[in-house]
Amino acid sequence: MPLPKFKLCAASESHAKRERRKEARPGELLEAALDLFVEKGFAATRAEEVAARAGVSKGTLFLYFGSKEELFKAVVRENISGRFTEWQAELDTFTGSSAELMAYALRSWWERVGMTKASGITKLMMSEARNFPEIAEFYQQEVILPGRQLIRRILERGVSRGEFRPLDMDHGIYCVMAPMIFLMMWRHSIGACAPTDFELSPERFIDQQISLLLDGLQARPASTSAPLPPEQQRDK
């Protein structure tokens, strides 16, 4: 005797729901892992905690990610590394001035990373990188190096177009990066030590950083250019 059609439909719908749940599971695990890594750090976060927060078993977690280290790497790739691919593509087609490009990059960084939970990964790395060399090397390749390459492209673009003055490129890159790192640390750590009558506005901070940075980078007539560092003066 054939089964009623409605039972077949119900079974089909149940199977479809299970498949959708299975497809969503990696994303749910990554979201739970990001929350816990930012809250507790890498060393203190246990795989079973991530699984429990995502509503699955520890065994299920390891079906998708072979180890806690692989889970952490997937979190970084999902939330940070991919942003650099987007920015590089945008830089290729940007038609404005290099000053406008620098301002866009810094504000975009805040919107896509700095103001998100993923910015807490920076605090984690500063605290634990030396204890986990493999993770430190991974972060260097996936985040620090692409970030440096992106800033270098913007600075070199400005210099080659005569918009920015010549500068010590390697150290200049870190001068651009450092205030952004400070802003993330303020959000996740040192902000708790700030005076109670002062609230740092990330947007206003970035506006001031852009103003100060571009004033220092701006190409000037030779008579009003910024003085060279002492060691370069000696070389001349």
Q: What is the CATH number of the domain that holds 93?
A: 1.10.357.10
| Domain interval for residue 190 | 68-220
One domain, residues 146 and 132: yes
82 occurs within a structural domain: yes
Could you tell me what percent of the chain has a pLDDT over 90?
76
Q: What's the total number of domains in the chain?
A: 2
Read off the pLDDT of each residue in 68-91 and give the average, rounded to a whole number. Answer: 95
Segment 132-191, tens digit of pLDDT: 999 999 999 999 999 999 999 999 999 999 999 999 999 999 999 999 999 999 999 888
Per DSSP, the residues of 49-72 read: HHHHHHTS-HHHHHHH-SSHHHHH
Amino acid type, 140: Q
138 occurs within a structural domain: yes
One domain, residues 191 and 117: yes
- pLDDT computed for residue 191 by the predictor: 84
Per DSSP, the residues of 88-147 read: HHHHHH--S-HHHHHHHHHHHHIIIIITSGGGHHHHHHHHHGGG-HHHHHHHIIIIIHHH
Q: Is the alpha carbon torsion for 221, 224, 229, 234 positive or negative?
A: positive
146 occurs within a structural domain: yes
CATH code of the domain in which 31 resides: 1.10.10.60
- pLDDT computed for residue 16 by the predictor: 43
One domain, residues 61 and 86: no
20 pLDDT band, cuts 50/70/90, is: very low
The answer to whether residue 206 scores a pLDDT higher than 80 is yes
Domain end position, chosen among 43, 66, 89: 66
233 occurs within a structural domain: no
17 pLDDT band, cuts 50/70/90, is: very low
235 occurs within a structural domain: no
One domain, residues 83 and 141: yes
The answer to whether residue 15 scores a pLDDT higher than 50 is no
234 occurs within a structural domain: no
One domain, residues 51 and 160: no
6 occurs within a structural domain: no
The answer to whether residue 80 scores a pLDDT higher than 60 is yes
One domain, residues 54 and 73: no
